[in-house]
Amino acid sequence: MGSKNLDIIRMSAAELAAALQAGTVTSVEAVQAHLDRIAAVDPGENGVHAYLHVNAEEALAVAAEVDALRAADETLHPLAGVPIAIKDLIVTKGQPTTAGSKMLEGWMSPYDATVIEKIREAKLPMLGKTNLDEFAMGSSTEHSAYGNTRNPWDLGRIPGGSGGGSAAAVAAFEAPLALGTDTGGSIRQPGAVTGTVGSKPTYGGVSRYGAIAMASSLDQIGPVTRTVMDAALLHELIGGHDPKDSTSLNEPVPALVAAAEQGAAGDLSGMRIGVIRELQGEGYEPGVQQRFDEALELLRGAGASIVEVSCPNLQYALAAYYLIMPSEVSSNLAKFDGVRYGKRVVPTEGPVTIERVMGSTRAANFGDEVKRRIILGTYALSAGYYDAYYGSAQKVRTLIQRDFDAAFAEADVLISPTSPTVAFEFGAKSDDPLAMYLNDVATIPANMAGIPGISVPGGLSEGLPVGIQFLAPAHEDARMYRAGAALEALLEKQWGGPLLAQAPDIEAAIAAAGQGEVA
Ligand code: GLN
């Protein structure tokens, strides 16, 4: 790969946008550099496999259009011409959407999600669709029907999930920006384990229209990037009211870019940062805890006051999530029956009744994890059990919200590690659903309460990235961008540049893996 190409793919979205505006790089060059990178590191047995579908032709056409408009001095969106990757749970006209499932193999949406309309309007070339756990259920991307995505830091390890494809694409310099969805941590946890930034907006802050629903009261679309500033830029672009989403907030997008700028200047005086007592200690790897403690010291040094807060009901968050989420899953996925939606599978033996067609379609096309959750949710919602399970879980949800309200009376933002561990090896947890679920202890509470959360790189533990999570009250997303940008700036000063600059040379690693040197 030429050195100009390498320079281009290593730029943040903000830097690339500036280069496009200055005319030192064209959008066609930017898209081509990323397509070349994808071709170099994504395919093959040991490739990253971040993408399920690459959209070269359309991306280059949009880029050429941006270059022509710029040459004609037309006013463009600041991110016009900067390429982006899209989690394959978000529907796109003219490109396949699989949700990581055989159920939607070959399906093309007849319409665009609202976030995709905004991206088209602002003219960001879409590079393609990224891999995910089937219907966004998982923490490792191992539940995808289309194979594993590899963590660019170690090709033998998971990139997190469910949005492992988006995070790996951004971490491997196969896209400067990506979109994810977060129902229980699927933007933030992949961000943490790949050394990237993942942001989950306030519930309702970004339209969910066109995000294939997993659990509608928890789902939220958000940015996956390499810097906090890039996340703020993308969040401002995709946010805002949408009449097509009945839970969309009818209020302007907060001033996130300004907040990130303020944070990056390094002054946090007056900010109270609350350490959540219940999200530390037991279950956290020592290296994760260490990076977390160092982050607190840095933030204190920047003028923030660190206070301890207690959210006692967070201990029930995971249990309540695994009742509410599957309940909504069982209802949302009922439409995939081979009649209304989904690739129909007709039984080869016996009578062909509609029930049997639906049954064979669902049996053949859903993976084990999806079936497990549909069964659990159907049980939790069934007559006689509803109050004991779903009803109780909803009460816990209210208690968690109250805990956060009380904590935010004492602190402006809250802080915790994003994930208790660094990226684990393939297969380490795939046979043990409970071990997999435990990855999300720190991320799930935000979805239960509808509050925003961001994960920023916090350093390495044994050579693998650790994420630090900031949470803010609903509607106050700006606060977490300010705190996140401050921590990022302080840490990058220590590291002498971005954390990803320390990542191994992935082309060499893929070549070595091809010769059997790496598992
Ligand atoms: N890992 C969590 C789960 O499996 C979160 C998924 C998500 O946020 N989409 O449910």
Q: What is the CATH number of the domain that holds 284?
A: 3.90.1300.10
| Total number of domains in the chain | 2
The rounded distance, in Å, linking the Cα atoms of 195 and 469 is 12
Is 393 inside any structural domain? no
Q: Residue 200 CA to chain centroid, in angstroms?
A: 8
Q: Give the residue, out of 219, 439, 440, 441, with the most ligand 1 atoms within 8 A of its beta carbon, to mutate for a pocket test.
A: 440
Is 294 inside any structural domain? yes
Q: Is there a catalytic annotation at residue 162? A: yes
Examine the pLDDT at 281 and tell me if it is beyond 80: no
The rounded distance, in Å, linking the Cα atoms of 20 and 261 is 21
Is 159 inside any structural domain? yes
Domain check: are 168 and 129 in the same one?
A: yes
As a whole number, mean pLDDT of residues 463-487 equals 98
Domain check: are 509 and 456 in the same one?
A: yes
As a whole number, mean pLDDT of residues 428-434 equals 90
Q: How confident is the model at residue 518 (pLDDT cuts 50, 70, 90)?
A: very low
- DSSP secondary structure letters along 314-337: GGGHHHHHHHHHHHHHHHHGGGBS
Domain check: are 451 and 329 in the same one?
A: no
Closest CA to 191 of 204, 183, 200: 200
Examine the pLDDT at 92 and tell me if it is beyond 50: yes
Examine the pLDDT at 2 and tell me if it is beyond 80: no
- DSSP secondary structure letters along 337-403: SSSSBS-----SSS---HHHHHHHHHHHHS-HHHHHHHHHHHHHHSTTTTIIIIIHHHHHHHHHHHH
As a whole number, mean pLDDT of residues 365-378 equals 97
Domain check: are 233 and 369 in the same one?
A: no
Is 407 inside any structural domain? yes
pLDDT > 90 in the chain, percent: 93
Domain check: are 248 and 323 in the same one?
A: no
Domain that holds residue 493: 3-314+398-514
pLDDT per residue as tens digits for the range 15-41: 999 999 999 999 999 999 999 999 999
Is 248 inside any structural domain? yes
pLDDT at position 5 is 87
pLDDT at position 516 is 58
Domain-terminating residue out of 364, 388, 412: 388
Which residue type is seen at 311?
C
Examine the pLDDT at 371 and tell me if it is beyond 60: yes
- Scored b (16 or more CB within 10 A) or e, 207-236 reads bbbbbbbbbbbbbbbbbbbbbbbbbbbbbb
Whether the CB-CB separation of 196 and 171 falls below 8 Å is answered with yes
Is 151 inside any structural domain? yes
Domain check: are 367 and 467 in the same one?
A: no
Cα(507) to centroid(ligand 1), Å: 30
Is 142 inside any structural domain? yes
Is 519 inside any structural domain? no
pLDDT per residue as tens digits for the range 249-259: 999 999 999 99
Domain-terminating residue out of 327, 360, 388: 388
The rounded distance, in Å, linking the Cα atoms of 251 and 234 is 18
Examine the pLDDT at 517 and tell me if it is beyond 70: no
Domain check: are 201 and 296 in the same one?
A: yes
As a whole number, mean pLDDT of residues 310-328 equals 97
Q: How confident is the model at residue 240 (pLDDT cuts 50, 70, 90)?
A: very high
Domain check: are 139 and 273 in the same one?
A: yes
Using CB distances shorter than 6 Å, the residues near ligand 1 are 136-139, 162, 182-186, 214, 325, 440
As a whole number, mean pLDDT of residues 488-494 equals 98
Helix (H) or strand (E) holding 36: helix 27-41
Closest CA to 467 of 303, 237, 228, 239: 228
Given 12, 87, 140, 207, the catalytic residue: 87
Examine the pLDDT at 519 and tell me if it is beyond 50: no
Domain check: are 430 and 304 in the same one?
A: yes
Cα(139) to centroid(ligand 1), Å: 6
Examine the pLDDT at 79 and tell me if it is beyond 90: yes
Instruction: For residue 497, give the 3-state DSSP assignment.
Output: coil
Q: Is there a catalytic annotation at residue 87? A: yes
Domain check: are 114 and 260 in the same one?
A: yes
Domain check: are 321 and 286 in the same one?
A: no
Looking at ligand 1, which residue's alpha carbon is closest to its atom 10?
A: 137
Domain check: are 259 and 368 in the same one?
A: no
Q: How confident is the model at residue 1 (pLDDT cuts 50, 70, 90)?
A: low
Query: Among positive and negative, which fits the CA dihedral 60, 51, 492, 2?
Result: negative
Domain-terminating residue out of 388, 407, 430: 388
The rounded distance, in Å, linking the Cα atoms of 54 and 404 is 41
